[in-house]
Structure 1
Amino acid sequence: MRHYLYITALVFGLLFSCNSNKEVVAKDQHNDKPKLESDTIRIANDEIEYEIIIIDPGFTSWFNSYAKPRGFYTQSYLEARNIFWVTEWNRRVIMSSQYDPSLYEMQINYNSYTNYGYEVNYMLYNYLVYFQLTNKQRLGGFPPEFKYEETQRTLEY
């Protein structure tokens, strides 16, 4: 049985996806590196039967430009951030009257006791960093950071 982790950010997606250039990064079955296909990212780990699907037209471009290379973070680092940020994300989905429901449309089914592997955690982490920076949201705890040319950019409130 295959389990899915879906992340959809349709703030820009619904408005612009019909006319956008479509590029996707999908995990090749014989290679750990993603390959470019359209604006939906699918990362699958057939060994543990989990995959992550990210639908957001701006993410691929951001990822290719700003994400740290694979191996930069340890899996435990990624898992710690993901657990914290996904918990807050899911809380905001439930409390849709307090948070923009167009940003937090559906819960992310992420279990801290499941080993999703490095690639799933890496892509989820990068999406959550991208989401926070581009939507000026802070999921709490650890501020998202990334190198932007010569200066360090963090989310400040």
Structure 2
Amino acid sequence: MIKVLLKLKRMKTLVYLVLTVGILIGCNSSKTMATKDHVAKQEAVNDTVRIANDEIEYEIIIIEPGFNFWLASRARPEGYYSQQFMENRNMFYVNEWNRRVLSPNRFNPNLYEMQIDYQPHIDYGYDVNYKLYNYFIYFQLTYNQRLAGFIPRI
């Protein structure tokens, strides 16, 4: 099971996006299953990206096997895109994401489980916008999804 948790916290309001993608893998023995579970848990521990800032009280946590490696190896380096560019794209992506959450008959509810509360008037800073933007790019490329009509670019 692959899990993604994105949590933005503003004042006393917590906003959660929990994306759980289940992968069912047949196995022949309980030993094989135990080994696969251990590997999956280890991947999740190794692929956790966490950013926090106590001043504006937010936290973003992304747990997705492969994302950390992808971020370090394939994503554009920090500073390549401006914060304003990423904020604009993140608004489009969040709006489309939330629309898909509200349309479980049209879109896979295992991919789009909970809404994201991303406010345009809040300055989340460069780091949060960078990681959120790159997660949306990673998500689109990994799960063959297109959010907001943009072709994901890296």
Q: TM-score, normalised by structure 2?
A: 0.76
Match of 1:10 among 10, 17, 20: 20
Q: Is this contact kept in 1: 2:44–2:63, CA < 8 A?
A: no
Aligned residue pair count: 133
Q: Measure, in 2, the Cα distance between the counterparts of 1:17 and 1:131.
A: 23
Q: Measure, in 2, the Cα distance between the counterparts of 1:98 and 1:14.
A: 22
**TM-aligned CA distance change 1:115 to 1:97, over 3 Å:** same
Q: By how many angstroms is 1:10 displaced?
A: 2.4
Unpaired stretches in structure 1, ≥5 consecutive residues: 25-37, 147-157
Q: Is this contact kept in 1: 2:44–2:64, CA < 8 A?
A: no
Structure 1 window deviating more from structure 2 (58-67 vs 1-10): it is 1-10
**TM-aligned CA distance change 1:75 to 1:44, over 3 Å:** same
Q: Measure, in 2, the Cα distance between the counterparts of 1:70 and 1:43.
A: 14
Q: Measure, in 1, the Cα distance between the counterparts of 2:24 and 2:125.
A: 30
The percent of aligned pairs where both chains have the same amino acid is 53
Q: What per-residue deviation string (whole Å, max 9, x for no partner) do you get for residues 102-145 of structure 1?
A: 10011111111111111110000000000000100000232111
Q: Measure, in 1, the Cα distance between the counterparts of 2:137 and 2:37.
A: 21
**TM-aligned CA distance change 1:69 to 1:13, over 3 Å:** farther
Q: What is the aligned partner in structure 1 of residue 76 from structure 2? A: 68
Q: Measure, in 2, the Cα distance between the counterparts of 1:136 and 1:7.
A: 19
Q: TM-score, normalised by structure 1?
A: 0.74
Is 1:97 the counterpart of 2:105 in the alignment? yes
Match of 1:22 among 43, 57, 67: 43
Is 1:110 the counterpart of 2:110 in the alignment? no
Is 1:54 the counterpart of 2:62 in the alignment? yes
Q: Measure, in 2, the Cα distance between the counterparts of 1:59 and 1:12.
A: 17
1:10 is matched by which residue type in structure 2?
A: T
Is 1:83 the counterpart of 2:104 in the alignment? no
1:88 is matched by which residue type in structure 2?
A: E
Q: Measure, in 1, the Cα distance between the counterparts of 2:125 and 2:119.
A: 12
**TM-aligned CA distance change 1:89 to 1:17, over 3 Å:** farther
Higher helix share: 2
Q: Is this contact kept in 1: 2:97–2:112, CA < 8 A?
A: yes
Is 1:122 the counterpart of 2:142 in the alignment? no
Q: By how many angstroms is 1:18 displaced?
A: 4.9
